[in-house]
Structure 1
Amino acid sequence: MRASVKRRTKTQQDVQPETADVAEDVSDRIRATLAKAISEGALKPGSKILEDAIADHFGVSRTVVRGALGILEHDHLLERKRNRGSFVAAPSIEQAKELFEARRTMERLILELALGRASDADCDRLNAIIDREDAIHHGTDEKAKAELSGEFHIELARISGNGVLTELLEKVVARLALVMTLYEHEHHDDCGTDHHRAILDAVREKDLKRALHLMDEHLADVEGRVRLTQDHGDRHTFEAMLASFSPQ
């Protein structure tokens, strides 16, 4: 009897960490899936997050789902509304301005660090990203175009060697995808590919002054595509609602 009890206790102890690991792995996949859908515009600002559907799809409890949603809320990609659930965040005009300001500041510091540390292999990797951007932007795959969001800039941040700045930039770029969805009035497919190539040339030549000037121009171009007025944001939200509820 005692031996049986000991074996059963040991089995329970073995299963519990495994179950926790599985839940954590699924939680990560839920977060990654929703973050990707948000960044690519598949989930629009104001869209309700259906916890039951997520739980059924991933085969987990709603507790696990809520844990994943809580992290996305902490990253300001989702908003939890009392007694209503979680929704894709809709950044305010003030938040949009602050995000653009934060990005300008970080990108300049990242560029300065990257320029001093970039190897030929790093530059070749950036060039490969730009070539892929060119190929995709000349194609018709809209999903692939959306997936390019910020890739050049995130890779530049990795080259800078500062993990904190890289993580912060990833979060800012993700939130700016929501800003563009809400407030963009002049849509561009190319997302500054020519600018990226010019910036890379300056990085290869170790010309910091020119690289910073080009980055400033590039980010100003991106900001110039949005109209930060409440009416414009409301219109985009309303149009998203019409697209969701209109018969196909």
Structure 2
Amino acid sequence: MPRSPANLTAIRPVARGKAAAGKKQAALGSKRRPAVAEAELQDTTRRIAEAITAAIVERRLMPGTKLAEQKIADIFKVSRTIVRQALHQLSRDKLVTLTQARGARVAQPSEEEARQVFEVRQMLEAAMIKRAAAELSEPQIAQLRQHLRDEEAAVQRTDVPGRTHLLADFHVVLARMLGNEALADILRELVSRSSLISLMYQSAHSAEHSFAEHVAIVDALAARDARAAVKLMQSHLHNVERNLRLNPRVPDLPSVLHAGDTP
């Protein structure tokens, strides 16, 4: 069926002026195409990196999991080159390890790295929450309350991936509300690494307890009580770290098997 003039207009611009003008427009278009292609490439790389990060944060990818380039390329219908770029980006963020012998795998943080990550978070988030108590607007406090309602709903329906993402994102949301994207990016990386650390070392840490601590933090922010907000955030991060089995007790065999117990 022949297209109407209106449809043709929607598909491509109507030619105007002399032939020379058309040639000039074509030349300009050819210069723009590489930039457009590069932007699309970067967007695809970002989407793949974000998908893998989300899978780690939401506990769908465990530490040590092999990340086969071809399988990921098939999932996203892209080349292995693009996947490799995404994996290198995640390697810089310490979420993926790359070795020539074993390829790409989800990182397995050491105990020392775990301690360092939480030490940095303590320093950054204490300063962040102090600013937040003084600067957040009432609409932003209301937005945080909505985030808490989403957390509570995820906790109550035992949505493990959902609650894990929301509990972690609470800290990034706070940073973004302060208008400091550099801080938000740094904290996003640290929170992702914390989630990965939790996969390896976390004991039966209560999601309900983390949610309750978030509620107390927002209450302190709403009251403009900077001192209480800082204290609550420090306590919250300390509690999360404390629940990591960084120094697990290795019991001896008799205690494991209850040797000597009488029937």
| 1-structure distance, mates of 2:181, 2:32 | 35
Partner of 2:160: 142
Structure 1 stretch 126-135 or stretch 184-193: which is displaced more? 184-193
The answer on 1:100 being equivalent to 2:118 is yes
What is the alpha-carbon distance in structure 2 between the residues aligned to residue 12 and residue 230 of structure 1?
61
**DSSP-derived class of the 1:192 partner:** helix
Normalised by the size of structure 2, how large is the TM-score?
0.80
Q: Identity of counterpart residues, as a percentage?
A: 34
Deviations along 1:146-177, one digit per CA (max 9) or x if unpaired, are: 32142221111122332222211111000010
Q: Which has the larger radius of gyration?
A: 2
Q: Which moved more, 1:209-218 or 1:137-146?
A: 137-146
Look up the match of 2:86. 68
Q: In the alignment, which of 189, 197, 211 is matched to residue 193 of structure 1?
A: 211
- The answer to whether structure 1 residue 222 and structure 2 residue 240 are counterparts is yes
Hey, what's the Cα distance between the residues in 2 that align with 1:110 and 1:103?
Answer: 10
Task: Give me the whole-angstrom Cα distance separating, in 2, the residues matched to 1:225 and 1:26.
Answer: 37
1:51 — aligned with what? 69
How far, CA to CA, are the matches of 2:215 and 2:167 in structure 1?
A: 16
Q: Distance in 2 between matches of 1:185 and 1:59?
A: 38
The answer to whether the Cα contact below 8 Å between 2:172 and 2:184 also exists between their aligned partners in 1 is yes
1:177–1:215 CA distance, 2 compared to 1 (3 A)? same
CA spacing shift, 1:231–1:72, aligned 2, 3 Å: farther
**Helix, strand or coil at the partner of 2:66:** coil
Q: TM-score, normalised by structure 1?
A: 0.84
Can you list the C-alpha shifts for 1:6-45, whole angstroms capped at 9, x where unaligned?
89x9576554333333222211111111111111111111
Give runs of ≥4 in structure 1 deviating > 6 Å. none
Matches within 5 A, 1:91-130: 91-130=109-148
Partner of 1:78: 96
The amino acid that maps onto 1:156 is L
Where does the alignment leave 5 or more consecutive residues of structure 2 unmatched? Answer: 1-19, 251-263
Q: How many pairs does the alignment contain?
A: 227
* CA RMSD between the two structures: 2.2
Q: Structure 1 regions of 5+ residues with no counterpart? A: 233-248
Deviations, residues 82-109 of structure 1 (Å, cap 9, x unaligned): 2321110111011000001001111101
Quick one: structure 1 residues 191 and 52, their matched pair in 2 at CA, closer, same or farther if it must change by over 3 Å? Answer: farther
**What is the aligned counterpart of 2:196 among 178, 181, 184?**
178
Read off the aligned partner of 1:139 and give its amino acid letter: R
Residue 44 of structure 2 aligns to a residue whose secondary structure is helix
Structure 2 Cα separation of the partners of residues 83 and 68 of structure 1 = 19
